[in-house]
A = this chain, B = another copy of it.
Amino acid sequence: MQSRLTIKDIARLSGVGKSTVSRVLNNESGVSARTRERVEAVMQQEGFSPSRSARAMRGQSDKVVAIIVTRLDSLSENLAVQTLLPSLYEQGYDPIMMESQFSPKLVEEHLGVLRRRHIDGVILFGFTGINEKILAPWQSTLVLMARDAKGFASVCYDDEGAIDILMARLYEQGHRQISFLGVPHSDVTTGFRRHQAYLAFCKSHALTPNFVLPGLAMKQGYDHVAEVLTPETTALLCATDTLALGASKYLQEQQNSALQLASVGSTPLMKFLHPEIITVDPGYAEAGRQAARQLIGQITQTRDLQQIVIPGSLQ
């Protein structure tokens, strides 16, 4: 480009020394108001912006963080990232994006790239199968999303709370035969915790549980929903909106519109295609905000590792 001005140029143009310009740049004290003003005017006028690489070299941080999502087209992660990005930019951090595709191996490769790149921090959307040993070197500069792990900062959704809210709502509407479509326990949060919460509610309200845990994919919801439908079933709770979408498709095909559906995850697509489904927003937006805050806090050493849980809300 042409942006070849340096602090030296600014110094010359405003008739001061380079260090004074540096001081103004960093809002350091010890510069007379008059001088400061003059320098700032010149900088403004020349459209000066300091070289990132040069500052990075002197200091340590080049203010770049990475966001590793499982999939770019994950509806829920998108909602979190959507607030994450502005939050990071606000603080002068540039987020670079990577996709893990649910592959621990890819995560490892990505982290390798990031290490060589001397990145400042990582926000990692968790999934089943990640080896925590790989994450160990990042303990102090990593925020885990949608998952928690000992010794790591994390931002999680309130899995139990979300299920509770939905079950309570269904119960309140009079439903007593509520089936559950979920995810295997190998997935601790979306799988195990949500299922447990379902079972707990059933137990405390004397309901008979009826569930199946096929997996995360839409097609799995479609393929397996029939297994939990009895003639008495009046409601179906889905662990994720993706599963709900799959189940809905099946029910539509079966002309079954009597069943009340409910699911965790309140994405725009969901709300448009199936407004009749009762949903809980796990707080994706808030999760993004918190994650940014947490990560930057860690990087700047002003915040210790926290395990944050975002409360969900009925939509």
Contacts and interface: CB of A to CB of B under 8 A. Distances in A.
A13 interface: no
A57 B53 contact: yes
A97 B96 contact: yes
Copies in the complex: 2
A240 to B, nearest CB: 14
Contact of A73 (B62, B78, B222, B245): B78
A150 interface: no
B78 A72 contact: yes
Contacts of A267: 73
A44 interface: no
A186 to B, nearest CB: 23
A303 to B, nearest CB: 18
Interface in A276-301: none
A115 B97 CA distance: 20
B99 A96 contact: no
Q: What 4 A-B pairs come out closest when comparing CB atoms?
A: A53-B56, A49-B116, A53-B57, A53-B53
27 contacts: A1-B115, A1-B118, A3-B118, A49-B115, A49-B116, A49-B117, A49-B118, A52-B53, A52-B62, A52-B117, A52-B118, A53-B57, A53-B62, A53-B118, A54-B57, A64-B64, A67-B97, A72-B72, A72-B82, A73-B267, A73-B268, A73-B269, A82-B99, A89-B98, A94-B96, A219-B272, A246-B272
